[in-house]
Structures are given as C-alpha cells and as structure tokens.
Structure 1
Amino acid sequence: MGTHVIKMPDIGEGIAEVELSQWHVKVGDLVVEDQVLADVMTDKAMVDIPSPVHGKVIALGGQPGEVMAVGSVLISIEVEGAGNLKESDKPAPVAAKETPVAPKVEAVVESKSAAAAPRPAAAVCQGPMVAREADERPLASPAVRKHALDLGIQLRLVRGSGPAGRVLHEDLEAYLAQGQSNASAPVAAAYAQRHDEEQIQVIGMRRKIAQRMQDATQRAAHFSYVEEIDVTAIEELRAHLNEKHGASRGKLTLLPFLVRALVVALRDFPQMNARYDDEAQVITRLGAVHVGVATQSDVGLMVPVVRHAEARSLWDSAAEISRLATAARNGKASRDELSGSTITLTSLGALGGIVSTPVLNLPEVAIVGVNKIVERPMVVKGQVVIRKMMNLSSSFDHRVVDGMDAALFIQAIRGLLEQPATLFVE
C-alpha cells in the first residue's frame, strides 16, 4: 500500500491561496476516481476538487474556513501500489486541534414547526423515516433548512440524497409526496420558552459575499434613485409573445425585456456601462454590454454574466439567463460565467418590495434593481384606471456618475418599457 497526496491545485488567474469551504469526505472513507472530495472558494467561484485515484482517506489537510496556499497538502489517500508521497509532502507534526462545533439546533426547527399552519390531514400519516439520533443535525444548506421550517418538516426525519446524505430541496418535496409531514406537533409547544442559540461560522461563499459587500460600501460613494414605471403595455406584449411563440421558443419573463432596455438606454449613457479602477483613477467605458444578473443560490448571492447582451434577441437573452441561473443555483457556474460584468441587474421577483437600495458590484458604477409589479389605480387622461406599476430602485457610484445623469438614465429605461415598441426601433 502507498499514499497518494493531493495538493491544493493552481486554479489559475494568479490565485495564490484559496479558502477550503467544505469537505465531502472524512478520514476512513473509501473514495473512487472523480468523486468530489472538497469544495474550495476563490475570489470568484466555488470549485470542486475531485479525486484522481481510488483509495481510502487517511488525512485531511485543513478545516472548513481555512485559507490554504496553492501547493499545500489538501488530502492524503491510501492507495494500492507505491502512491506519490515524497519526503517533502510529509506534513510536519502538529498538536491536535479541536474544531469548535456549533450547538445542535434541530429543536429550533421543531419548535417553530409547531407554530406553522397545519397541513391537510392527508399529508399527516406514517411512512418510512430516516433513523437519526434526536441530537443529530442533518447536512443541509440554510435555504433548505428555511424551506423545511416553512413546510413544518422535522429535517432529521428526511432522507438526504445529496453528497454525504445532504438534504436537498427535492428531498423535502419527496418527503411531502410520501405523506410524511410532521406538522402535527402539540400546539402547546408553540408557547414554550426557548433558550437555544446557533453559531454559524462565516466561511466559503458567505465570507466572500460579506467581504465584497463591505468593500463596495467602504470604497464607493453610493447613492440610489427610485423611479416608478407603468409596465402594463410591456406585460401585455410579453403575454402576447408567450401565447404566440412560447411553445416553440420558450416563455419570456420580464428580465430579457429589462436587459434589452439597458442595452438601448446605454447607447445614450455610456458612462453607466463602465468600470472604475479607483487605485489607478481610471474609468473604462465599454462598448460590449455584459449584464450581470444577480441570482440567489443555496450558498448565497451569485452574479452570472450574460455576455454581449447588445447582440442578443429577447429569446436568446431569456435562454442565457435561464441557463446561467440554473448553473449558479446548482453550483456549476464557472469562473468565467461569474466574472466580467459591466452593469448588473438585480431582482427579488415577487418578493421585490416597494423600494430597495442595491449595493454596487464593484468595479461597476451602476446597478439596476427591480421591485415587484403591483396593480394600482392611476389617473390616465383624466380617468382612473387600473395599471400594472413597478419601481426601479437603482444605485450608482457618485464618484463617477452624477445624480442628473443617473435620473435621466433610469427615465430613459422607463420610457422604453412604457412604450415597448421603442425597444426594437433602430
């Protein structure tokens, strides 16, 4: 038997160190070739580290949240044959270090579940369950835990189909489909005192998001501008196009129309499609419009990029937005797909609220935020009519963008969306 040492690979782009985000294996596990061993986080994306060999894990080189240098020992695997271990690969002996463990919080999920609205009686029945200890905390992302809480499901009873038994959104739906919802906890539990706490280490994507948001708010001179838009006409156009071409070309959301409006408006406001290097004191205006589309995933907010939006049709933009969003949510977006944007579009969809103050995606100088569409009575030509209204809440870097220009830019987008034919007039 020999030892095969896997070192932290050179991921490229001049990166000298990366953060170890998550292990998918533990000491003693048997692994096969191409099995994902760990996730590491660069400045731009999460990267899977697969195993190049079959064998047994005998040592892990770091803990989640640890920043490791490229070339340092990541993991050691016992293999048939001589392996690749060299004298220089042998780690120096160090004292054993205990990793702090966050308190178990399954009781939080259960006690909140009792307060949730009870599900239909048909959903509350007996069926096969996962045998977990009462204090065992199943692997699941924060989004999945929130989903389980909303559904009134005890997460420890759900069988996970992800790596290392991780519970996925699909597992929750499968659990409900089998009629195993456990939302019938005693009502009295909803009024019990609670003294639980949970400590969550800020690592991986969440750490990168925190660093970028802090950096953006410290370096840029943010200001926001909100404009109300009547989207009745463009929503009618969207419905018409979906009815006529949806089956053959795919359904259109509002996002590709917004991307088109950005492209057209930027022709008159090129200063918005720019990056600002505040160290070199240089503004770079770009002809290409690479639109970042903020996308929520289980690991946090990601911004995949629709490249050359200026050369795309509505359906081309729609297909690319859908493809990138799916890749981001599944953790499959590449570094190239998550970098290089020139202006960002952010939307919370139906949760968009009335007003928001989005944070710039540095080094960009503008971000356009989309709020939800609501029907309201409006006065049109002296008559009170029901119209579909939506706010755009956008932020700009005041070091580069003047307030008047920002207002005119957003009003130009407003005019294009309220008169949708102008989106396609060259």
Structure 2
Amino acid sequence: MARLDFKLPDVGEGVTEGEIVEWFVAVGDSVAEDDPMVEVMTDKATVTIGAPCEGRVERICFEVGAVAQVGQVILTLESKPDSDPDSARRSSLPPAAAVGQIRNQVPGAALFQGPPPASAPVAKPLATPAVRRLAQELGVDLGQISPSRTDGRVTAVEVRAAATGEQTPAAFEERQPIVGIRRAIAERMHRSKTTAAHFTFVEECDASALVQLRERLAPKADRRGIRLTYLPFIVKAVADALPNHPVLNAAVDERSHELIYKKYYNIGVATATESGLMVPVVHQVDRLSLFELAARIERLSQSARDGTIAPEDLRGSTFTVTSLGKRGGLLATPILHHPELGILGVHRIKDKPVVRDGKITVGKVMLLSLSLDHRIIDGHVGAEFAYDVIETLENPERLVDEEP
C-alpha cells in the first residue's frame, strides 16, 4: 500500500486555517473515494471534506477543537493497491468537495449526546511521586481513576475517594469541548469586549403610535404573505437616522488606526439559533420599502435558524440591531458586533404611565439601549442618534412612504 499525507485544502475566499469540529473516521477505518472524513469550520463556513481515494486511515493528526493551517497534514491514508495516490495528491477536488453551509446545529454536537464513553486506562497515569506512594499504600489502581484536572494528573483527594468508595466532584461533572460556531461566537465576543470601550445609553420610547400603525398594516402584510413585526420599523428608523450621524455607521481599522466611514447602510439583525447567536445582514436597507424590509428580515432570520443561510448574508454589516422580542426584559447592554461602533438593543413593549398634554395616561413604552464604542463616539453624539431614532418611532407614519 502507498501512503498519502492528506493536507487541509484551500477552500477559497482567502481562508488560511480551519478548526476541526468533527471526525467521521477513526484510525483503522476503511474509506471509499469521496466518503466524508472530517468537518472543518473556517471563518467563512462549515465544510465537509471527503476522501481523495480509497484506503485505510493510518493516522489522525489533529484532535477535535484544534486549528489546522491550510497545507498542514491532517490525516494519513494507506491507499488501496488499485488506487492512484499520485492522482489524489495532484487532485484539486478537495475544495470542490467541501460543501460550505452554516449548520443549524453546532457541528460535532453528536459528540456530546448521551453519556460520555468511559476513559480507557492508560499505561502510566500522570501523578506525583507522593500520590503514587499514597495509591500504593491504599491499594488503589491509578489507571482506574478518571482525573478531574485539565492536565490529566490524579490528585491525592481522588486516590482517597477511590479507596473509600466515595465519589469525587468529577463524578458529577461533564466536560464538553467548545467547538464550531459556539467557539467562533466566544472568540468574537471576547475580541469585542477587550477591544472596544463599551458604554450604553438607555432611553424610553413611547411606542403607542407604532403599535397602532403595525396593527393597521399587519392584515395588508398578511395578504402578501409577509409577517409584519416591530423589527422592520426599528431597522428602518435606524437606517433613516444613520446618514445624520455618519460616525455611527463607521468602523475602526485597528491595524492602520483609521476610521472607515461607510456610505451604505447594511443593518445586521441578531438572530437566536440552536447553534447560538448569528447576525444575518440586510443589505442596502435605505433602498427597501417597509414591506420589502419585513420580507427580507423574515427570510434571512429563517434561513439562519434552518442552517441554510449563505455566507454572504452574514457579512458586510455596518450597524446591528438586536431584539429579544417578548423576552426582551427591562434592560440589557448589548455587546458590539466588532468592528462596528454601534448596536441598538430593543426591549419588550409594556403598558406604563406616560404624560400627554399634561395628563397621565397609559401608554405602550419600550426601552432602547444603545451600546457604543467610547473610543470614537462621545456620549452626546450617541444620545442625539438615539433621540432621532426615538422621534421616528414615536411618529412612525414617516416610515411608510406610501400606503402599502
């Protein structure tokens, strides 16, 4: 048999590395040409890579959760006598065989279903000489202990617990690797919080007129097959206000220390999925009617939840809106979608006392929380933008150019 070192292929679009999120094969498995071998997540998409030829898996070079560079050997195959390993080495098929699609379930989630398999005893468990001596005195086999420490070392507490039959805290814990989309979310959130100087401006919005307008337009939207929520009104109000406050539609180039003013209005709409929070992007919001915007948001959000959203629909946002809907709570402080400079949090509409014409009455009130990057945006600049958005939402008829 000939040996083939299979390297992580270039899946295009400038991708330089990929995270191993699931292996479909194990050492010793036989594979046919194009059988799925590994699932890899890049910063563009999740891809499945097939076998370049028929053979047997000799070695797997990266564990789940590890990051491999394009061109690094990730797996070694022993090809069948009738296979052509030289052709497989020359083949440009791996990129084409990699099917890029965002999944609606964290890739590799099958690894976590059900109880984890029992750890196989190792020939020489990690332990200090003192712990080994204690285990010998108590007649405990270190190989039968599942260590709780991340470095795999067995502790004296675990040895004594094994000797008395007691269960250690590790027996009541379950470890799951943070991989796939969840790992990408964690890294982006951490980068945003450690890069931008977050501050949040909060104000009330009397949404009574907005509630009435939506109730009036909803039946017309239904007849067109469109579900009209409050979100399109809010996204459109944001897009209408941004031209008057261009710094909120800008981004920071951290490498060159430059501010990039963007003269297009692509609004990201944070969407909860089973994989975690994703941000589909509605491009050129300022060119869409209210009903067109509602249909676009519904389509993108559903495709994100289904796991069928195209990678280009997750890129290019200039500002983000996040809404928790009925679960919006009283207040939250959204985290910026780096490298953007602003994100608007929308909270639940509640019946609250409001003052109109000097009289107290019951109104529909919601809180808006605007998080900004204080490195670039001063407090009064953010407040002026927020009040422009609120003024539009309190007079929402201006969002409807003509009666749909």
Tell me the distance in 1 between the aligned counterparts of 2:20 and 2:170. Answer: 34
Give 1:165's aligned residue. none
Amino acid corresponding to residue 46 of structure 1 in structure 2: A
Counterparts of 1:150-169 in structure 2 under 5 Å?
Answer: none
Amino acid corresponding to residue 10 of structure 1 in structure 2: D
Give 2:62's aligned residue. 62
Tell me the distance in 1 between the aligned counterparts of 2:65 and 2:193. Answer: 24
**Does structure 2 conserve the Cα–Cα contact (< 8 Å) formed by 1:20 and 1:63?**
yes
Tell me the distance in 2 between the aligned counterparts of 1:249 and 1:338. Answer: 24
**Does structure 1 conserve the Cα–Cα contact (< 8 Å) formed by 2:36 and 2:51?**
no
Tell me the distance in 1 between the aligned counterparts of 2:379 and 2:330. Answer: 21
Question: Per the alignment, do residues 40 and 329 of structure 1 end up closer, same or farther by CA in structure 2, a change over 3 Å counting?
Answer: farther
Tell me the CA shift for residue 25 of structure 1.
Answer: 4.8
Counterparts of 1:6-21 in structure 2 under 5 Å?
Answer: 7-21=7-21
**Does structure 2 conserve the Cα–Cα contact (< 8 Å) formed by 1:260 and 1:314?**
yes
2:293 is the counterpart of 1:317: yes
Deviations 1:280-330 (Å, cap 9, x if unpaired)? 121111111011111222222221211111111222222222222223223
Deviations 1:346-384 (Å, cap 9, x if unpaired)? 122222111111111111111111112222233323444
**Does structure 2 conserve the Cα–Cα contact (< 8 Å) formed by 1:216 and 1:360?**
yes
2:349 aligns to what SS in structure 1? strand
Tell me the distance in 2 between the aligned counterparts of 1:14 and 1:104. Answer: 31
Amino acid corresponding to residue 421 of structure 1 in structure 2: E
1:372 aligns to what SS in structure 2? coil
The structure 2 residue matched to 1:271, chosen from 247, 251, 257, is 247
1:267 aligns to what SS in structure 2? helix
The structure 1 residue matched to 2:281, chosen from 284, 298, 305, is 305
| Percent of pairs with identical residues | 37
* TM-score, L = length of structure 2: 0.72
Tell me the distance in 2 between the aligned counterparts of 1:28 and 1:70. Answer: 25
Give 2:161's aligned residue. none
Give 1:343's aligned residue. 319
1:227 aligns to what SS in structure 2? strand
Query: Alignment length, in residue pairs?
Result: 329
Tell me the CA shift for residue 77 of structure 1.
Answer: 6.7
Give 2:164's aligned residue. none
Counterparts of 1:132-151 in structure 2 under 5 Å?
Answer: 135=115
Tell me the distance in 2 between the aligned counterparts of 1:258 and 1:32. Answer: 52
Structure 1 residue runs of 5 or longer lacking an equivalent are: 90-102, 107-134, 138-192
Structure 2 residue runs of 5 or longer lacking an equivalent are: 90-110, 118-168
Question: Per the alignment, do residues 336 and 76 of structure 1 end up closer, same or farther by CA in structure 2, a change over 3 Å counting?
Answer: farther
Question: Per the alignment, do residues 50 and 87 of structure 1 end up closer, same or farther by CA in structure 2, a change over 3 Å counting?
Answer: closer
Tell me the CA shift for residue 4 of structure 1.
Answer: 7.5
Tell me the distance in 2 between the aligned counterparts of 1:283 and 1:104. Answer: 43
Amino acid corresponding to residue 337 of structure 1 in structure 2: D
Question: Per the alignment, do residues 258 and 57 of structure 1 end up closer, same or farther by CA in structure 2, a change over 3 Å counting?
Answer: farther
Give 1:329's aligned residue. 305
* TM-score, L = length of structure 1: 0.68
CA RMSD between the two structures:
3.3
Question: Per the alignment, do residues 234 and 35 of structure 1 end up closer, same or farther by CA in structure 2, a change over 3 Å counting?
Answer: farther
Deviates more, 1:385-394 or 1:405-414: 385-394
2:379 is the counterpart of 1:380: no
Tell me the distance in 1 between the aligned counterparts of 2:203 and 2:19. Answer: 40
**Does structure 2 conserve the Cα–Cα contact (< 8 Å) formed by 1:105 and 1:196?**
no
